[in-house]
């Protein structure tokens, strides 16, 4: 059975599973549609939360960024896992005790203001659409390579699958679909990781292979990788080039953003008891850790295999650069997707790859006859291409395609549902038509989900960066807008509606404006020489969060305190019961 047939079999079977679960768990009322009837077991909810949160950024893009950024990419590992500690300690049990359907509903009721609820909805929609753009890009990448269709066609197929089980099943259908998707994605991630770890180091445990010696060589994996990349003019893999302030701000934005993501927070509304919210957070972190401790070795081996496969001659020797006369088969296949490119600048027919931005390496490059870097690699292909580069069996390659799609679709569905809930429950029922019937509200929610899917497909076709970069921007937006309002709503009886509204507006406008300026309007200035205080767009959400806290605190002190009943509500929320 060839690769194309195997891929269609694996991906098709997974789609049939997701659709079957959606039909089995069809939402019958708004409680099912928004919070799965509040009856999900903590372990199942932890697994669903892990799948919801471990998006295409985690599965497809994170190891790709680690492969090329090396030590600098540690901000993603620290930020995205550390955020769950904040979520478990500061938010999850308290919001579950509050017992509502959505984050904007909590903000609206806590700050006794429809305006605050509307501002929260706007922030939620901006965050979620930014996030979902990365997921749909991931779907398009997987389909374009493994099903050999155009990225737009792949997006349409993915949109159709999400439409079916998100619109039909709501949160109930999505929850149990995500349990299945977690099983698919973690199996698909770990199997090739184990194969490649054995191939490179002889150690079947990827986490241990990271510190093992390379097979047949008395040198550790990272030491060899450092030497390989330095021989090509790049910074040593284990050394960082980011400034300390940018590392701190990106890590903090990712951590706080995790705790402020609406599609993750809503998962803790689906469990029966307050104590189950904490248990869900623990299980989610456990399930996430399996992949996150594996990603560094996948990235490192991906970078090493890429260079050793395509680099002409022996790295570091000027005499051997005629060894490979033809591109490897996997390279030709990925070129067709447009995500990998070779420009033969000196006409010798060989791929020549080095850091042409390093002036100290130029004399060495010139001695090879090189006239500039000839290789362009989209970071998002590294995990998907890794099994092909390592020449693993076709069934492993097909498996990772199914896993990549599962990761992207699981998060896309969760995001689309919170957008749907924000429109139907917070805007239509909460503001515009308070007396709408449950049946009509459910219909509005499904129509809103369908509309959101179409917008998501467009954004997936026109994303503002690599998957992980796009997702990092969404985390920054969540950190600067919703997190301060939620945290102060739980722990500060003095925080009032004027402060919350002003803080959210300042935080989201500042952060979004900074991102648009450097990512869209003036891309040529998107470097450390032009960033404020050396803070990149991926880290600016931390500064936006600090501005939010400052503005909210000052405005709250200068205006009337919340009513007595709201202060009593805060007192009751922040002392959660154990059951």
- Give 477-489 pLDDT, tens digit per residue: 999 999 999 999 9
User: Residue 370 phi/psi, 5° resolution?
Assistant: -80, 145
Please state, as a whole number, how many other Cβ atoms lie within 10 Å of the Cβ of residue 249. 26
Can you give the pLDDT at residue 313?
47
| Secondary structure of residue 341 in the 3-state scheme | strand
Q: How confident is the model at residue 558 (pLDDT cuts 50, 70, 90)?
A: very high
pTM of the model: 0.80
Q: Whole-angstrom Cα distance, residue 404 to residue 137?
A: 11
Report the pLDDT averaged over residues 49-63.
Answer: 79
Decide if 24 contacts 440 (C-beta within 8 A): no
Q: Of 246, 285, 268, whose CA–CA distance to 82 is shortest?
A: 285
Q: Whole-angstrom Cα distance, residue 52 to residue 44?
A: 12
Decide if 492 contacts 406 (C-beta within 8 A): no
Query: With 70 as the cut, is the pLDDT of residue 323 above it?
Result: no
Q: How confident is the model at residue 510 (pLDDT cuts 50, 70, 90)?
A: very high
Query: With 80 as the cut, is the pLDDT of residue 96 above it?
Result: no
Place of tokens 């977690």: 182
Q: Over the stretch 134-143, which tens digit does the pLDDT of each residue have?
A: 777 777 777 7
More confident residue, 506 or 391: 506
Ordered by start, the domain boundaries in the chain are 3-302+386-465
Report the pLDDT averaged over residues 286-299.
Answer: 90
Query: What topology does CATH give the domain 3-302+386-465?
Result: Sodium/glucose cotransporter (1.20.1730)
Q: Of 340, 349, 326, 346, whose CA–CA distance to 375 is shortest?
A: 340
Helices (H), 345-437: 362-367, 382-389, 394-421
Please state, as a whole number, how many other Cβ atoms lie within 10 Å of the Cβ of residue 524. 8
Can you give the pLDDT at residue 31?
59
Share of the chain above pLDDT 90, in %: 19
Place of tokens 């079947």: 204
Q: Whole-angstrom Cα distance, residue 531 to residue 511?
A: 13
């Amino acid at each position: 059975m060839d690769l194309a047939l195997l891929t269609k079999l694996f991906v098709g079977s997974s789609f049939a599973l997701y659709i079957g679960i959606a039909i089995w768990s069809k939402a019958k009322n708004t409680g099912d549609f928004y919070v799965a009837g509040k009856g999900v077991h903590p372990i199942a909810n932890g697994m669903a939360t892990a799948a919801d949160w471990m998006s295409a950024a985690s599965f497809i893009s994170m190891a790709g960024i680690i492969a090329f950024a090396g030590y600098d990419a540690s901000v993603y590992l620290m930020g995205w896992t550390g955020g769950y500690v904040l979520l478990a300690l500061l938010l999850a049990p308290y919001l579950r005790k509050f017992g509502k359907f959505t984050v904007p509903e909590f903000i609206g009721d806590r700050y006794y203001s429809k305006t605050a609820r509307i501002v929260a909805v706007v922030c939620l929609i901006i965050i979620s659409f930014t996030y979902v753009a990365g997921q749909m890009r991931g779907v398009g990448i997987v389909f374009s390579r493994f099903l050999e269709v155009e990225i737009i066609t792949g997006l349409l197929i993915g949109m159709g699958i999400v439409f079916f089980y998100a619109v039909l099943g709501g949160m109930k259908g999505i929850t149990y679909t995500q349990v299945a998707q977690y099983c698919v994605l973690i199996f698909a991630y770990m199997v090739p990781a184990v194969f490649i770890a054995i191939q490179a180091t002889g150690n079947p445990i990827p986490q241990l292979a990271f510190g093992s010696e390379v097979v047949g060589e008395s040198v550790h994996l990272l030491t060899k990788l450092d030497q390989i990349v330095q021989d090509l003019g790049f910074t040593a893999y284990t050394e960082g080039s980011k400034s300390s302030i940018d590392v701190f701000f990106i890590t903090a934005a990712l951590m706080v953003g995790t705790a402020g993501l609406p599609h993750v927070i809503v998962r803790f509304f689906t469990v029966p008891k307050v104590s189950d919210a904490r248990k869900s957070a623990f299980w989610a972190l456990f399930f996430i850790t399996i992949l996150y401790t594996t990603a560094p070795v996948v990235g490192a081996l991906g970078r090493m295999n890429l260079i050793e496969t395509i680099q002409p001659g022996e790295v570091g020797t000027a005499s051997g650069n005629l060894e490979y006369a033809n591109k490897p088969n996997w390279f030709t296949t990925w070129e067709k997707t447009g995500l990998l490119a070779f420009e033969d600048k000196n006409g010798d027919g060989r791929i020549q790859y080095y850091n042409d931005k390093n002036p100290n390496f130029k004399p060495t490059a010139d001695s090879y006859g090189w006239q500039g870097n000839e290789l362009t690699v989209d970071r998002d292909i590294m995990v998907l291409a890794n099994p092909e580069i390592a020449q693993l069996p076709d069934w492993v390659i097909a498996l990772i395609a199914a896993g990549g799609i599962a990761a992207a679709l699981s998060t896309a569905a969760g995001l689309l549902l919170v957008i749907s809930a924000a429109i139907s429950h917070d805007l239509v029922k909460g503001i515009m038509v308070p007396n709408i019937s449950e049946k009509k509200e459910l219909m509005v929610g499904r129509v809103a989900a369908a509309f959101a899917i179409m917008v998501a497909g467009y954004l997936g076709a026109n994303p503002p960066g690599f998957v992980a970069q796009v997702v990092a921007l969404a985390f920054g937006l969540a950190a600067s807008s919703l997190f301060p309002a939620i945290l102060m709503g739980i722990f500060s009886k003095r925080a009032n509606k004027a402060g919350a509204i002003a803080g959210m507006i300042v935080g989201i406008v500042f952060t979004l404006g900074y991102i648009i300026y450097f990512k869209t309007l003036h891309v040529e200035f998107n470097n450390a020489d032009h960033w404020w205080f050396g803070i990149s767009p991926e880290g600016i959400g931390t500064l936006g969060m600090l501005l939010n806290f400052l503005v909210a605190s000052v405005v709250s002190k200068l205006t009337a305190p919340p009513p007595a009943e709201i202060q009593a509500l805060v007192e009751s929320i922040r002392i959660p019961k154990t059951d």
